[in-house]
């Protein structure tokens, strides 16, 4: 099997698929990576808010760390 080339076979397969499948593939992967980026950015922002010094609000009975966590991740508190 010295004459077999995986990349040539893959390219031939991709080129022979219908255009709507190619468009669906592009949209699906684009949406996936945009979602990953959005999740990572949301995590970084929440982590930055959680690590920031308190804003002077009174803490709940459960402790300041728990109150800050709830404020950041649930938007309540």
> What are the extents of the domains in the chain?
20-74
pLDDT band per the 50, 70, 90 thresholds, residue 69: confident
**CB neighbourhood size of 68 (10 A):** 21
Pairwise CA distance, residues 69 & 23, whole Å:
41
pLDDT tens column, 2-49: 789 999 999 999 999 999 999 999 999 999 999 999 999 998 888 877
Pairwise CA distance, residues 48 & 38, whole Å:
15
pLDDT reported for residue 71? 73
pLDDT reported for residue 74? 73
pLDDT at 57 over 90: no
pLDDT reported for residue 6? 92
CA-based R_g, the chain, Å: 24
Pairwise CA distance, residues 67 & 49, whole Å:
12
Residue 23 structure tokens: 């468009």
């Amino acid at each position: 099997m010295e004459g077999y080339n995986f990349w040539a076979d893959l390219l031939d397969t991709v080129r022979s698929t219908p255009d709507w499948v190619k468009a669906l593939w592009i949209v699906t992967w684009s949406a996936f990576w945009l979602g990953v980026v959005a999740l990572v950015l949301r995590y970084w922002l929440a982590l930055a808010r959680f690590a920031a010094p308190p804003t002077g609000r009174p803490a709940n009975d459960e402790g300041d760390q728990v109150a800050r966590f709830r404020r950041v991740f649930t938007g309540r508190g």
